[in-house]
Chain A
Amino acid sequence: MPNKKRLVELRIPSIFGYEKVAMVTVMAVAARLGMSGERAEDLRTAVAEACINAIEYGNREDAGTPVTITVSIDDHHLIVDVRDRALGETRPHMGRMVDLQNPPSGTHANMGLFLIHHLVDKVDIVCRDNGTHVHMAMRLPEMVLH
């Protein structure tokens, strides 16, 4: 198990627009760790989509129910975990809803999942009765690892 170190924990209300707080935070941490340009932008967009899904489907836009964003590093990765409280429907198959070969033509929720899967190096989505957890990891630049 690689050494995991938590850097930042953030709670945002389940109100559309607050995902931008998570985006700015993740970009700041990524820049500090030497991850820049397109890779950082990819992570920023994936975090936005994970937060939007958490706000809309996980927490049903209940402003008082927070979405929790945790930013961590391990030996090789910058890791962002997004968790909701499952006030909405549980989606046990959410991680398998996405056809990675074909962009979705339906709801934007599927498009968000499609983007997350394509933009970050590793994605795990765990749905339980008490909430959905989206785990995203991006490999850190070599200069940071040495």
Chain B
Amino acid sequence: MAQELKVTARHVDPVMVLDLQGDVTMFAEAELTRSYHLAVDNGARELVLNFAGTDYINSAGIAIIISLLTEARASGVSLVISGLSSHYQKIFRMVGLTQYAEVFDTVDDAVRELKSRTTAEPA
């Protein structure tokens, strides 16, 4: 019934993109946290959570995302969001999630912004 979440990681130097495919619900917790930690453990410091492949996010899924964003902030990782439909962009604003993370319309926009920050940082 539920569409199981699959997360695919791809490297768009120096940014790591996590492409989400499926439902973001309570069942997504293990896959999401595993994928995030794997990326960070492999040295990623700029990450994009790309929701372009999902059309169902519920409150339990939002709670998981908030938890990841809180962890990222505490450990100095830049974690941003892309690919949300206009409906879910509104939901994320409504629950205050945009206070924790920047939201971009497309993954290309998110990658471009993160890349510009890393090149702007002093060596």
What residues of chain A have their CB less than 8 Å away from a CB belonging to chain B? 15-21, 23, 38, 41-42, 45, 48-49, 52, 102-104, 107-109, 111-112, 114-115, 118
Contact = CB atoms under 8 A, between A and B. Distances in A.
B1 A48 contact: no
Contact of B58 (A38, A49, A103, A118): A49
B68 to A, nearest CB: 14
Nearest to B97: A103
A48 to B, nearest CB: 6
B12 interface: no
Interface in B99-118: none
Given A111-B62, A111-B63, A20 B26 contact: no
A20 B62 contact: no
Contacts of A114: 94-95
B93 to A, nearest CB: 10
A45 B62 CA distance: 13
A108 B91 contact: no
6 contacts: A16-B25, A49-B58, A107-B63, A108-B26, A114-B94, A115-B95
A118 B26 CA distance: 22
Given A38-B86, A38-B87, A108-B59, A115 B1 contact: no
Interface in B58-101: 58-60, 62-63, 85-87, 90-91, 94-96
B95 A45 contact: no
